[in-house]
């Protein structure tokens, strides 16, 4: 199943402006041990985070399945901030707090104090100029993070006060850009479904294979180095409403699911754009369908990065 191009669709959008990211929230970790504590819980290096760069990261179960995903950056002294899906903020905060024990680290919900805004197009460039993806810059308004482009559109996330005089951006447009960027966000409906590599987390810099232990590290490392990964995340369009957690089915094997929707957003031309984890074998031929074997057909689109098409090692 070859990837189609995206010509035409992105040109129907007004991709300049700012929008409040109500579907995101912020967890704050404060204390002398905040970095060390999170280093032992997340898939990315927290000890060398620095103040000028954000990193994507995952929080896994002992079985290596993602419980949440974050964009992480350093705040004030002894403070680290984690932006993730609002649908998982409370349970993730509770679960992380269980592991703090004697560490000098306090976790709290900082969403109200640090509201998140998305900026796209010229608005993002006005805020961050020539900043590279995942670069952070602080100002009186807050911390701005340059996100990877989507469909050639510059994007930024601002934790703080939205800039004045900037055109409002439609929330569905931002969600479509989020999905198009190929950066996965674990949501309530996809908890415990994916090893990080299944949603390409390591391809966007969200897994450090040289760092110390964290929950599920052995499973994640084994998936990386033993050639056993049979599933990856790809970008699709479908002429129907789609939701995270929906199953995909393949025309050649309609009796069992061939994949799972990770993220979805309404498309400007109707239907949805989705990031979906699928069996690599399901991309060779035939068709993928949303929700049922006779459901709407998915059309594959190009991701902004290359996905290795590895196959399982011989038994």
For residue 224, the domain's CATH number is: 2.40.30.160
Mean pLDDT of the 72-84 span: 96
Q: What is the 3-state secondary structure (H, E, C) of 254-301?
A: EEEEEEEEEEEEECCCCCEEEEEEEEHHHHCCCCEEECCCCCCEEEEE
What whole-number distance in Å separates Cα of residue 245 and Cα of residue 197? 17
Backbone angles phi, psi at 224, to 5 degrees: -80, -40
Q: What is the pLDDT of residues 147-156, one digit of tens each?
A: 999 999 999 9
- At residue 94, the pLDDT reads 97
Q: What is the pLDDT of residues 216-246, one digit of tens each?
A: 999 999 988 876 689 999 999 999 999 999 9
Number of domains in the chain: 1
Domain span including residue 260: 194-301
Q: Is residue 154 part of a domain?
A: no
Q: Is residue 120 part of a domain?
A: no
Q: Which residues contact 263 (CB under 8 A, 6 or more apart)?
A: 178, 179, 184, 185, 187, 244, 274, 275
- At residue 3, the pLDDT reads 65
Q: What is the pLDDT of residues 178-205, one digit of tens each?
A: 999 999 999 999 999 999 999 999 999 9
Q: What is the pLDDT of residues 4-23, one digit of tens each?
A: 654 444 445 789 999 999 99
Q: Is residue 116 part of a domain?
A: no
Q: Would you place residue 2 in the very low, low, confident or very high pLDDT band (cuts 50, 70, 90)?
A: low
For residue 161, the tally of other CB atoms under 10 A from its CB is 13
Q: Is residue 92 part of a domain?
A: no
Q: Is residue 248 part of a domain?
A: yes
Q: Is residue 20 part of a domain?
A: no
Q: Is residue 21 part of a domain?
A: no
Alpha helices in 198-249 (DSSP H): 217-225
Burial class (CB in 10 A: 0-12, 13-18, 19+), 171: middle
Q: Is residue 6 part of a domain?
A: no
For residue 63, the tally of other CB atoms under 10 A from its CB is 11
For residue 187, the tally of other CB atoms under 10 A from its CB is 22
């Amino acid at each position: 199943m070859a990837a189609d191009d995206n010509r035409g669709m992105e040109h129907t959008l007004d991709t300049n402006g700012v929008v409040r990211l109500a579907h995101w929230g912020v967890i704050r970790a404060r204390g002398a041990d905040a970095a060390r504590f999170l280093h032992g819980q997340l898939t990315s290096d927290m000890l060398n985070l620095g103040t000028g760069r954000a990193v994507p990261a995952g929080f896994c179960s002992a079985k290596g399945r993602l419980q949440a995903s974050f964009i992480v950056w350093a705040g004030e002294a002894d403070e680290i901030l984690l932006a993730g899906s609002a649908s998982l903020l409370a349970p993730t905060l509770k679960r992380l707090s269980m592991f703090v024990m004697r560490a000098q680290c306090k976790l709290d919900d900082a969403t109200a104090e640090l509201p998140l805004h998305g900026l796209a197009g010229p608005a993002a460039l006005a805020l961050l100029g020539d900043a590279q993806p995942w670069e952070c810059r602080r100002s009186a308004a807050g911390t701005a993070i340059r996100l990877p482009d989507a469909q050639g559109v510059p994007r930024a996330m601002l934790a703080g006060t939205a800039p004045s005089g900037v055109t409002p951006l439609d929330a569905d447009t931002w969600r479509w850009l989020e999905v198009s960027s190929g950066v996965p966000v674990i949501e309530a409906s996809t908890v415990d479904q994916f090893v990080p590599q299944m949603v390409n987390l390591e391809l966007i810099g969200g897994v450090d294979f040289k760092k110390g232990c964290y929950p599920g590290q052995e499973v994640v490392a084994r998936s990386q180095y033993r050639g056993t990964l049979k599933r990856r995340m790809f970008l699709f369009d479908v002429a129907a409403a789609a939701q995270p957690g929906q199953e995909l089915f393949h025309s050649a094997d309609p009796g069992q699911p061939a994949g799972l929707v990770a993220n979805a957003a309404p498309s400007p031309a109707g239907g949805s754009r989705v990031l979906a984890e699928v069996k690599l074998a399901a991309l060779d031929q035939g068709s993928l369908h949303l929700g049922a074997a006779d459901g709407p057909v998915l059309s594959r689109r190009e991701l902004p990065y290359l996905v290795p098409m590895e196959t399982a090692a011989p038994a």
